[in-house]
Amino acid sequence: MLRLIEGARNSGKTYLLQWANIEPYKFPFPFWYGKLKLSNNDVGTHHFAISKEIMLHHLNRDGHIKKELFIDRGILTVLVWGVLENRITMDEAVKQLWTFANEGLFDETEVIYIKGENPRERGAKDVWDNSDKAKEALLYEELLTELHEALPNLKITRFQNGFDMMSAVEFRESVIKGLDL
């Protein structure tokens, strides 16, 4: 079972996961981006990113992942950033999302979408910190709507992060509680 933790930059995904004592898998995209000397607005960079998603979801769908696995940023992030960085068009992102759905690559998957605006600015983490946060959030919403249309029974949990202790407790109790960790 894959649990995709998705959300715009600085929405508090990592904080909430740490507070809930969950160690997610996070593909080191910035590391490989640099090592492979990928170009930010090149479709090849998108192909690299989506290929790891295809493999991960194939492994999950075909039963090779035997436990619950939390993924810090998944297919939605790849598609959102593909559009945001002009690697692909929104039409292409929607087609790829529907292809994932039609191929059963969301089987045994849940999306947990974190929304919120951190009142404290964090330091720059990588080359993408100057992105348009409003546009990023809008793209997530559009793709979540498409995903719900493609797979109405897919569990999509939306969580509003208030960046306070109550949000952290509510995340742990309502989103994480009862999961087979």
Ordered per-residue pLDDT tens for the chain, 181 residues: 999 999 998 899 988 999 888 899 999 999 999 999 999 889 999 999 999 999 999 999 999 999 999 999 999 999 999 999 999 999 999 999 999 999 999 999 999 999 998 877 655 555 555 568 889 999 999 999 999 999 999 999 999 999 988 999 999 888 776 554 3
Report pLDDT for 173: 87
Report pLDDT for 180: 44
Q: Which of 1, 28, 2, 16 is nearest to 114 (CA)?
A: 16
Residue type, 117: E
> Are the beta carbons of 161 and 11 closer than 8 angstroms?
yes
Nearest-angstrom CA–CA distance, 81 and 23: 23
Rg of the chain (C-alpha set): 16
Report pLDDT for 130: 57
Report pLDDT for 181: 39
For 116, left (φ over 0), alpha (ψ -120 to 50), or beta?
left
> Are the beta carbons of 171 and 159 closer than 8 angstroms?
yes
> Are the beta carbons of 5 and 24 closer than 8 angstroms?
yes
* All domains of the chain in start order, with CATH: 2-117+128-176 (3.40.50.300)
Q: Which of 107, 45, 31 is nearest to 81 (CA)?
A: 45
Q: Which of 134, 21, 136 is nearest to 77 (CA)?
A: 136
Take residue 37 and report the two structure tokens written for it: 């000397």
Q: The tokens 């995209």 sit on which residue?
A: 29
Report pLDDT for 178: 54
SS3 category, 102:
helix
